[in-house]
Amino acid sequence: SDWSSDVCSSDLLRNTCHGEFNEWLDPQVRNANGTLNLKNLYDIAHQHGIDETPYLNLNSGQQRMIIGIKLRATRKAQRQQPW
């Protein structure tokens, strides 16, 4: 099975995982096998003025979560859909 079917098993998680923001971000930061591509995540963060340096000591999932939250807030403040 793919990563999303495992991670997004409940209705709440399914709505979050398959929300517009994650549908926009995940194809840009996930490899074909579903693993996270941190270089791509950092590139998108930089495009939105976000520095990943404070989060480099965290595991990749934590980095994706925190940078994702910051990306969502930045895009919302700039009225860039999706957020």
CA distances from 41 to 1, 28, 46 (A): 23, 8, 9
**Rounded to two decimals, what is the model's pTM?**
0.78
User: How long is the chain?
Assistant: 83
Tokens 């979560």 belong to residue:
65
CA atoms of 36 and 79, how far apart (whole Å): 26
Supply the DSSP string of 43-74, one letter for each residue: HHHHHTT---GGGTTS-HHHHHHHHHHHHHHH
Q: Does 59 score more than 60 pLDDT?
A: yes
**pLDDT tens digits along 5-42:** 555 666 666 556 678 899 999 999 999 999 999 999 99
pLDDT-derived band at 73, boundaries 50, 70, 90? very high
